[in-house]
Amino acid sequence: MGQAHETRHQVFVSSTYLDLVEERRAVIQALLELDCFPAGMEMFPAANEDQWSLIQEVIRLSDYYVVIVGGRYGSVTPEGVSYTEKEYDFAVECGIPVLGFVHADPASIPVGMSDIDEEARERLEAFRTKVRSRMVKEYRTADELASVVSRGLIRAMKQHDRPGWVRGDQAMTEATRTAIAELRAALAEAQKERLQQAQNEGASEVDETFEHGEDAVALQFDARYWSGYDFKTQAIELEFTWDEIVGGLGPLMLDEAPESLLKSTFEQLATRALHEIEDGGWRGTENLTVHVQADSWGIVVVQLRALGIITNGARKRTPADKAVYWKLTPAGDAYLVKLTAIRRDTAGPEVAETPVQS
């Protein structure tokens, strides 16, 4: 029986900001105590179309959506709808479980925390009515709000099973582990036969019946970054060619290299690749690290073995050294040289022909 996976849920918190600072702080603390990942508009530097695209993606990836309605309607979009209501409508459109929390006595909210403009007050009241059409609870203080949010979210989790997030090292299913183990066993046997044949025949070519070279593979990673309150983890997909993988890891295996070093080096390559992506908001992200998920790393190792590029290290080590070591095969060494060695330009400069004197 496989181990239980610890699933954590992402909760998007939506509200006006300056008038509800204490309320948001209390709610975020409550979410953290429930082992949830809080997300919200304060993660984003400004309200414009670029940020809205990113906010949409964060909402779409959230498991639950919490909206807090106080005494202000908030700043509005060019369409005349507040950003809070725009987020709310998008969450409903996506089918995300929505939990609404409205102030029980708006008349008691201090003037500085309420809308004075009549049109804004009317829009706020219409928005309150819209929120009340779904699951809604009332609150009077920040502490009371944190309490009703906790109870409401626990109830929502029981009523609406959401996928949540699982650590990459726990995400592999038992079936996937078994399949990879069986494939590795079969490949180990084939590897021995291939190496023996290569030694007997002097062969130094990889098995090109498997994907290689410029063929691309999509791999799964967990991106960890600072969100303003805590570190967040988001599942992402990055694409590499097999030549990029061999070129990045091959030089480490000219001598035998521990798998932990190969994996961390590959994660550094993935982090740099993610920083260079124009779309998605990753460029310049603070404290960004990328960790390859276990099943994707297994795919890399298995494919390199299937190609005949790597094999297990054979050097004797102390009993205390439990690490797995990999080294290039003769075919892998030849492939790496062909891939990365710099060729000399032998063309030379052009020489003008000299006419023959008669």
The CATH number linked to 93 is 3.40.50.10140
Of 1 and 207, which is predicted with more confidence?
207
Q: Half-sphere exposure of 15 toward its Cβ, with a 13 Å CA cutoff?
A: 25
The pLDDT value recorded for residue 325 is: 94
For 238-263, the pLDDT digits (tens) are: 999 999 999 999 999 998 999 999 99
pLDDT band at 281 (very low <50, low <70, confident <90, very high): low
For 146-198, the pLDDT digits (tens) are: 999 999 999 999 999 898 887 766 666 677 677 778 878 888 777 777 666 65
Among candidate residues 109, 142, 159, the one where a domain is terminated: 159
Provide DSSP, 147-179.
HHHHHHHHHHHHHS----B--GGG---HHHHHH
**Does residue 191 share a domain with residue 136?**
no
CA gap 223, 214 in Å, rounded = 25
**Does residue 195 share a domain with residue 70?**
no
CA gap 158, 151 in Å, rounded = 11
CA gap 141, 309 in Å, rounded = 64
The pLDDT value recorded for residue 135 is: 79
CA gap 114, 97 in Å, rounded = 28
Closest CA to 335 of 313, 298, 310, 316: 310
pLDDT of 1 > 60? The answer is: no
Residue ranges making up the domain that contains 304: 168-340
For residue 349, being part of any structural domain is answered with no
For 282-297, the pLDDT digits (tens) are: 766 667 889 999 999 9
**Does residue 57 share a domain with residue 129?**
yes
CB–CB of 87/59 below 8 Å? Answer: yes
For 295-351, the pLDDT digits (tens) are: 999 999 999 999 999 999 888 888 888 899 999 999 999 999 999 888 776 665 555
**Does residue 176 share a domain with residue 86?**
no
pLDDT of 29 > 80? The answer is: yes
Q: Which two tokens stand for residue 184?
A: 């590795």
**Does residue 218 share a domain with residue 336?**
yes
**Does residue 26 share a domain with residue 100?**
yes
**Does residue 184 share a domain with residue 330?**
yes
**Does residue 214 share a domain with residue 313?**
yes
CA gap 82, 75 in Å, rounded = 5
For residue 1, being part of any structural domain is answered with no
The pLDDT value recorded for residue 42 is: 67
For residue 108, being part of any structural domain is answered with yes
**Does residue 305 share a domain with residue 235?**
yes
For 79-133, the pLDDT digits (tens) are: 889 999 999 999 999 999 999 999 998 888 887 788 878 888 899 999 999 999 8
**If you average pLDDT over residues 131-146, what whole number do you get?**
92
Domain count, the chain: 2
For residue 42, being part of any structural domain is answered with yes
**Does residue 174 share a domain with residue 119?**
no
Residue whose tokens read 């964060």:
58
Among candidate residues 159, 178, 206, the one where a domain is terminated: 159
The pLDDT value recorded for residue 25 is: 93
For residue 89, being part of any structural domain is answered with yes
**Does residue 63 share a domain with residue 178?**
no
The pLDDT value recorded for residue 201 is: 45
Helices (H), the chain: 21-33, 49-60, 83-93, 118-132, 142-159, 174-201, 242-249, 259-275, 294-306, 330-340
**Does residue 115 share a domain with residue 139?**
yes
Average pLDDT, the chain: 84
